[in-house]
Structure 1
Amino acid sequence: MGLFDMFASKAANQLGNAVKQGVSNAVNNKKEKIVFNSLPETYEQFTALPQASLSTPFQTAAMAVLAFCFYPKDKELCYRMIDFLRGPRPMNGADKQFIADRFRDKDYVPRSYFAGATPSNDYQPAVPYTIEVRENQYTYATDGIAKLFIPSGGADDPRPIQLRKAKDGKWYLWEYSSILLGIRQPESSNPWA
């Protein structure tokens, strides 16, 4: 048995095991494009959006990106929106400090998740405002938790975000640190671009 034969055999066994568990790597994973025709300006408009029903983890993930876009303009409004998305688990001081630390000189990070936003256009999204949210074969590996992925125009790989389903049937924001990590600088502020 050659070296590559061993890998092929191992891969076939792994695929067979995955199929037995009802999970197949060969299946296309679901992608949803969440579209905002216009952006809210107030908390009331934010909570009145159709996606604010939080009936799917995809909606909640996109709403989180939208909420973080408010931080540079009005951090208290952003915190209020995030608390809405977190449901029965409001933010504490450490959560707010974490967000503040991520936004130092990087107000463009949340905009990068909108379609059309790239370093070359200083992360200006296309209209209508669209966020693609993806799942993979491990998205629902933990009961009641969905780990989804959102592509960024400034990162090589989609960033994970976790949502948790509550007793009320809604999906709430659970873990979001990765979507606030640094990305490539906008070209206008990058001396090396």
Structure 2
Amino acid sequence: MFDKIRRKATRAVKRAVGDKVEDEAEKQVKKTISKHEDEVKKHTFRGMVSDEKTIKGEMITDFDKFKSNWEKDAKDPAQSVFYLLMAAYNYCSKDKKIGEAMATVVLSKKHNNDAPGSLSGLKFGKTNKYLFDQMLEDENIAKSYLGADYEEEYKFNENKLKMQFMGVVPETDKNVKAIIQSSGKDFPTPVTLAKNKHGQWKVTEFSSIATGCKTIASIEEDF
């Protein structure tokens, strides 16, 4: 009889210990994830000058209007990032040729090639083409930076664009890293820009934009 009671007590203790071990393991996992998130944020934000604001506007699909508007706004790095995202949206969801021409206006010429037949006179270099084609595979990437809400399955209003700008990390007087936030990504996104001789901020590195965003719930749960 006592053996039976002892066995029951032993099993109960093991279950309790097991639950504690599982709880502790879960805590450790959460702690590790939290630590990683903090490290990523610290790395991204190191030296950042906070300038939180929402850049608003309407989608532009005409190349000439896009170019002239960007030239007026190009003295602000946040605006140049905004225009790059508009170009990405056009490339992914409207017209690839127009989207590419728009993007080459905002991107540094160093990573583009001459193209007499293009509206801008330029076409993507190998790296830029690869990154834009990555975004082409999921049109929600560009939309997630322009006001499309992940929680609402990336519903998008072209007449009410909104880009969340967090600030810049100054590197030199002519080089900055702009920090923006996507509704479909956990961490902020860095975009590197340089100021040309005309005082215009041009994007020189944007690979973090092209990374994937969260899958919408209706697709994620369809299994």
Bin the TM-score by the shorter chain: 0.7 to 0.9
Q: Does 1:33 align with 2:54?
A: yes
Q: Secondary structure at the match of 1:174?
A: strand
Cα pair distance change 1:28/1:41, threshold 3 Å = closer
Q: Secondary structure at the match of 2:90?
A: coil
- Structure-1 separation of matches of 2:89 and 2:100: 11
- Structure-2 separation of matches of 1:33 and 1:101: 26
Q: Any conservation in 2 of the 1:51–1:59 contact (CA below 8 Å)?
A: no
Q: Any conservation in 2 of the 1:118–1:186 contact (CA below 8 Å)?
A: no
- Alpha carbon RMSD of aligned pairs, Å? 2.5
Q: CA deviation at 1:51?
A: 6.8
Indicate which of 192, 208, 215 corresponds to 1:162: 192
Structure 1's unaligned 5+ residue stretches are 1-23
Q: CA deviation at 1:102?
A: 3.7
Report Cα offsets for 1:107-157 as digits up to 9, x if no partner.
Answer: 110100123x22232212465311121225xx1124421101111111111
* Greater C-alpha Rg: 2
Indicate which of 79, 82, 104 corresponds to 1:83: 104
Structure 2 equivalent of residue 191 of structure 1: 221
Structure 2's unaligned 5+ residue stretches are 1-45, 113-123
- Structure-2 separation of matches of 1:83 and 1:49: 15
Q: Any conservation in 2 of the 1:134–1:150 contact (CA below 8 Å)?
A: yes
Q: Secondary structure at the match of 2:215?
A: coil
Report Cα offsets for 1:3-61 as digits up to 9, x if no partner.
Answer: xxxxxxxxxxxxxxxxxxxxx97x9711232110x211211221233675311111101
Indicate which of 131, 144, 163 corresponds to 1:98: 131
Q: Does 1:113 align with 2:134?
A: no
- Structure-2 separation of matches of 1:114 and 1:94: 23
Cα pair distance change 1:179/1:52, threshold 3 Å = farther
Indicate which of 123, 130, 133 corresponds to 2:162: 130
TM-score (norm 1): 0.74
Q: CA deviation at 1:189?
A: 2.5
Farther off after superposition, 86-95 or 160-169: 86-95
TM-score (norm 2): 0.65
Q: Which one has the bigger strand percentage?
A: 2
Q: Any conservation in 2 of the 1:51–1:63 contact (CA below 8 Å)?
A: no
Instruction: Give the paired residue count.
Output: 164
Q: Does 1:62 align with 2:92?
A: no
Cα pair distance change 1:71/1:122, threshold 3 Å = farther
- Structure-2 separation of matches of 1:172 and 1:101: 21
Cα pair distance change 1:51/1:129, threshold 3 Å = farther
